[in-house]
Amino acid sequence: MKIALPGPDSFTSRLRGPEVAARIGVWLGICFGVAFVTGLISHAAQDTPGWLTFPTRPVSLYRITQGLHVTAGTAAVPLLLAKLWSVYPRLFDRLALHERRRLLLQLLERGSIALLVAAAIFQLATGLANSTQWYPWSFSFRSTHYAVAWVAIGSLLVHIAVKLPVIRDALTGPLENLPSPGTAPAPADGQLSRRGFLRATWLATGVAVLATAGATVPALRKVSIFAVRSGEGPQGVPINRSAEAAGVTESAAQPSYRLEIRNGKRRTLLTRADLEAMSQTMVDLPIACVEGWSAGATWSGVRVRELLALVGASTDADVEVQSLERSGAFSVTELPSHFASDDLTLLALELNGERLSVDHGYPCRIIAPDRPGVLQTKWVSHLTVLS
């Protein structure tokens, strides 16, 4: 029995065509561009290279860039599906098996597109899983998502460069399959037009964005039924890792708790009452999680700079922040000097006018301007001045 492979003529939908693929491609390209740039920013915020001083203002910059990152990735999901649908019959184009040169070019083009599609699907799938805190893999999410981002953006640029003439014609020509140039598109009764298909694609993309963006845009909370976090939680702020998950429920409640501040041989121990007795500063700062949710809040507590002054630290020293949490990737973080000495950087004792709950970091937690949530260390036990 002979099995006939589908050929280009096996796919008859008139909705497909470069005109449709290019229009979706423009928006897909914008989403990938935004996700790439904001992803680089997030990477720099978490792992700042030596030549860069990550800014502390505007205080909500990271909240915006990371919200955009996750939103652009979410919007790209329906766009990518529609785009793949609009072009996949090309997979069955006949290869020019008897013309070496053409065959080589065809294989190169297919190879580059295979790389682009694989990288794009990988980025969206891992990013989406990460934003739901689901890690069904054993590799490091952050370094892999970062490395594949370069593959995705590189192969996207190659793809755009190769297709530029096709894209230009497709975008400047008429959208519908016209029987003769200039006549109005006439899809048969009850048939979806290309315009209709594109509208459905934009609608699906809009719904995907609205259904998730409430995690970071308070006005959208009510419509964001698929948001992983509502942007609300105890004391008005969601909780990422609870005290129980971090294994600190007991140690955080111990009356013997002391905050230890160290600068070389100088050290001082403070109880929570000692901290409450110091001068208190109130700041409005957001928690902006890398997973895309964020929430603004009012914090009050002691300026980190004033705590460091107790052990004679200079304002240009970096500080290591250690948590009561024993294991976990975020139990020890580093606060660069310009964050540590900033007026708005607190060891917070209160959140939205109430004593910090243990899940939000009691006895005390770091809150600093324009920092990713992962670095806003909860249940702080030691501040150590690094020389």
Ligand X SMILES: Nc1nc2c(c(=O)[nH]1)N[C@H]1C(S)=C(S)[C@@H](COP(=O)(O)O)O[C@H]1N2
Q: How many residues in the shown chain lie near ligand X by CB under 6 A?
A: 21
Q: Which of residues 238 and 363 has its CB atom nearest to ligand X in the complex?
A: 238
Q: What is the Cα–Cα distance from 383 to 261, expressed in whole angstroms? A: 5
Give φ, ψ of 22 to 5 degrees.
-70, -40
Segment contacting ligand X by CB under 6 A, of 171-179, 191-199, 307-315, 321-329: 321-329
123 binds, among Mo ion, ligand X, none (CB under 5 to 8 A by kind): none
Which residues, numbered 20-39, are part of the site for ligand X (CB under 6 A)?
none
Alpha helices in the chain (DSSP H): 18-46, 61-87, 100-131, 141-172, 194-213, 243-246, 249-253, 272-277, 304-309, 337-340
Q: Which residue of 325, 342, 350, 370 would you call a contact of ligand X, by CB under 6 A?
A: 325
Please identify the residue of the shown chain whose CB is closest to the bound Mo ion: 289
331 binds ligand X (CB under 6 A): yes
122 binds ligand X (CB under 6 A): no
238 binds, among ligand X, Mo ion, none (CB under 5 to 8 A by kind): ligand X
Q: What is the Cα–Cα distance from 297 to 284, expressed in whole angstroms? A: 6
C-beta of residue 229 within 8 angstroms of C-beta of residue 293? yes
Residue 328 DSSP code: S
Task: For the CB of residue 364, give the shortest distance to ligand X in the complex, in Å.
Answer: 11
Widest CA span in the chain: 87
Amino acid type, 11: F
Reduced to 3 states (helix: H, G, I; strand: E, B; else coil), residue 38 is helix
Give φ, ψ of 261 to 5 degrees.
-115, 125
Segment contacting ligand X by CB under 6 A, of 107-115, 145-153, 263-271, 324-332: 324-332
Task: For the CB of residue 253, give the shortest distance to ligand X in the complex, in Å.
Answer: 15
Q: Which residue of 377, 381, 383, 385 would you call a contact of ligand X, by CB under 6 A?
A: 377
Q: Which residue of 63, 83, 145, 378 would you call a contact of ligand X, by CB under 6 A?
A: 378
Q: Which residue of 71, 197, 373, 384 would you call a contact of ligand X, by CB under 6 A?
A: 373
Q: Which of residues 31 and 289 has its CB atom nearest to ligand X in the complex?
A: 289
328 binds ligand X (CB under 6 A): yes
Which residues, numbered 288-317, are part of the site for Mo ion (CB under 5 A)?
289
Q: Which residue of 16, 145, 229, 360 would you call a contact of ligand X, by CB under 6 A?
A: 360
Segment contacting ligand X by CB under 6 A, of 59-67, 125-133, 169-177, 372-380: 372-380
The token pair at 9 is 């003529």
Which residues, numbered 236-255, are part of the site for Mo ion (CB under 5 A)?
240
Of the candidates 362, 360, 368, 240, the residue with the CA atom closest to the CA atom of residue 294: 240
Q: What is the Cα–Cα distance from 384 to 387, expressed in whole angstroms? A: 9
238 binds ligand X (CB under 6 A): yes
User: Which x/- pattern over 365-384 shows residues binding Mo ion (rule: CB under 5 A)?
Assistant: --------xx----------
Task: For the CB of residue 240, give the shortest distance to Mo ion in the complex, in Å.
Answer: 5
Q: Compute the half-sphere exposure of residue 240: CA atoms within 13 Å on the CB side of its CA.
A: 24
237 binds, among ligand X, Mo ion, none (CB under 5 to 8 A by kind): ligand X
For the four alpha carbons of 117, 137, 32 and 203, in that order, the dihedral sign comes to positive
Beta bridge partners of 73: none
Reported for 252-255, long-range contacts at CB under 8 A and 24+ positions apart, including other chains, are 252/324, 252/358, 252/362, 252/363, 252/379, 253/358, 253/362
Amino acid type, 314: S
Q: What is the Cα–Cα distance from 27 to 279, expressed in whole angstroms? A: 51
246 binds ligand X (CB under 6 A): yes
- Which residues are near ligand X by CB under 6 A? 237-241, 246, 287, 289, 323, 325, 328, 330-331, 360-361, 373-374, 376-379
- Which residues are near Mo ion by CB under 5 A? 240, 289, 373-374
